[in-house]
Amino acid sequence: MAEIATIERIGQFVDEKVTLRGWLFNKRSSGKIRFLQIRDGTGSIQAVLVKNEVSPSTFAVADTVTQESSLVVTGVVRADDRAVGGHELQVSDIQVIQVAEDYPITPKEHGPAFLLDHRHLWLRSAKQHAILRIRSHLIQAAREYLHQEGFVLFDAPILTPTACEGTSTLFETDYFYGETAYLSQSGQLYAEAGAMALGKVYTLGPTFRAEKSKTRRHLTEFWMLEPEVAYADLQDILSLAEELVSHLVNSVLTHKSEELRTVGRDLDKLRLVVPPFPRITYDEALDLLRQRGMAMKWGNDFGATEDTVLSEQFDLPVMITHYPVQAKAFYMKSDPDNPNLALCLDMLAPEGYGEIIGGSQREDDYHQLLEKLAAHRLPREPFEWYLDLRRYGTVPHAGFGLGIERTIAWICGIKHLREAIPFPRMLQRIYP
Ligand code: 4AD
Ligand code: MG
């Protein structure tokens, strides 16, 4: 009996007989030899069948199997410098689990709509496979980093009674007894309660925005990582944000360089991502935009176009602070030196990728917070629990949210967020 191996670890089995379980990716033939490109989820390898070294029925299988047929292949591992990954498999036996029907995704070019309709199959292609492995690694690295820094995982609810990031992008659903529930736009308000209980917490989960805009940077369902820290101010979370992001980039570079190459990423650009990141104020960013001929009125938040232009000015992520209060959410604390400005930050990824982080110091004063709720025309009653956090032992605190898909899109160098999540949800797409 041959040992069951994975392609990822095939190097441990040189000159030994192993069994691989996978799918046929591609095949070609040349005279009395058949080459089967097999993938097993961990990698791909070329399996070679030589006519007079296998039984006639085994050799015949090579001619009948179709793309994406499921196979169990047994053979001897040979080291071969010319092969992708440095090894190939000299086949002695093939067991076909299923001969796949005509596979819709062929090596030829397909348009994005077709690929998205077949997302459940598109996931098997080399580039998508690499992106999803990078995603898995990035989330794991973020969790490990925060645990090392003393953060406690604090899961926030998805069904919520209130808005966190403005009422225009809420998904509504009927709750019981005539009540309405909203899908969470952010775990932040709950993370603040967590920080008052546990000191340093983070949430990581799906968040929802009924974005009516069709842009490559917006999903209606996306994942957010949100650290929240008691006894912290804006400066503290600026440091945390740049440490976290540089750690993530470095960790992907160290552990997933093969996948980065598969997606065609320029690794030198990522190697530049080392603290300190440039920090500028909203007013300075406005000046930069004006110098580039983009007239913008003081007081508005930057949109996708402004973010793109700003993020093209830097080789590193840039952190922009002190936006006008009217441009930002109700919970942000005002700058005591200039109450028109919020103690907030946006981090924009370089190379035109735009905003990956939004955060702030929180309004910790009960009366100020009441005023801010009123100024944003938000009802007081559903926020009573949130106001309690200011009634009972309020402290300065701050946090931010890092968009997982935006971060992956930047690190992988892909332009559209739809490839950064297994099943993207967008304005015109909920299938599959
Ligand atoms: O800037 P945002 O809206 O901030 C918040 O939600 C805060 N409550 C977070 C906090 O302080 N704890 O969103 C944070 C990040 C953005 O910078 C972006 O990366 C991502 O979430 N994001 C989206 N990603 C994909 N699709 C969308 N529609 C997104 N909206 C925000
Ligand atoms: Mg934002």
DSSP string of 75-89?
Answer: EEEEE-TTSGGGEEE
Handedness of CA 322, 323, 325, 330 (dihedral sign): negative
3-state secondary structure of 333: coil
Handedness of CA 376, 380, 384, 388 (dihedral sign): positive
- Full-model pTM: 0.97
In the reported structure, the alpha carbon of residue 311 is separated from the centroid of ligand 1 by a whole-number distance in angstroms of 17
Cβ–Cβ < 8 Å for 307, 296: no
Angstrom CA distances, 266 to 84, 200, 272, 416, stand at 20, 35, 11, 17
Cβ–Cβ < 8 Å for 42, 129: no
Nearest residue (CA) to ligand 1, atom 1: 358
DSSP state letter for 246: H
- Opening angle at CA 400, ends 396 and 406, nearest 5: 175
Q: Which ligand is nearest to the CA of 207?
A: 1
Residue owning tokens 């989960």: 205
Ligand 1 pocket list (CB less than 6 A): 164-165, 186, 188, 209, 211, 218-219, 222, 224, 226, 355-359, 399-401, 403, 405-406, 417
Cβ-based neighbours of 86, under 8 Å, separated by 6 or more: 11, 79, 80
pLDDT tens digits in sequence order for the chain, 432 residues long: 789 999 999 999 999 999 999 999 999 999 999 999 999 999 999 999 999 999 999 999 999 999 999 999 999 999 999 988 899 999 999 999 999 999 999 878 899 999 999 999 999 999 999 999 999 999 999 999 999 999 999 999 999 998 889 889 999 999 999 999 999 999 999 999 999 999 999 999 999 999 888 889 999 999 999 999 999 999 999 999 999 999 999 999 999 999 999 999 999 999 999 999 999 999 999 999 999 999 889 999 999 999 999 999 999 999 999 999 999 999 999 999 999 999 999 999 999 999 999 999 999 999 999 999 999 999 999 999 999 999 999 999 999 999 999 999 999 999 999 999 999 999 999 999
- Between CA 285 and CA 289 the distance in angstroms is 6
Q: Which ligand is nearest to the CA of 332?
A: 1
Q: Which ligand is nearest to the CA of 420?
A: 1
In the reported structure, the alpha carbon of residue 358 is separated from the centroid of ligand 1 by a whole-number distance in angstroms of 6
In the reported structure, the alpha carbon of residue 182 is separated from the centroid of ligand 2 by a whole-number distance in angstroms of 19
DSSP state letter for 288: H
**CB-count burial class (<10 Å; 0-12, 13-18, 19+) for 150:** exposed
Angstrom CA distances, 324 to 37, 232, 302, stand at 57, 21, 11
Nearest residue (CA) to ligand 1, atom 27: 218
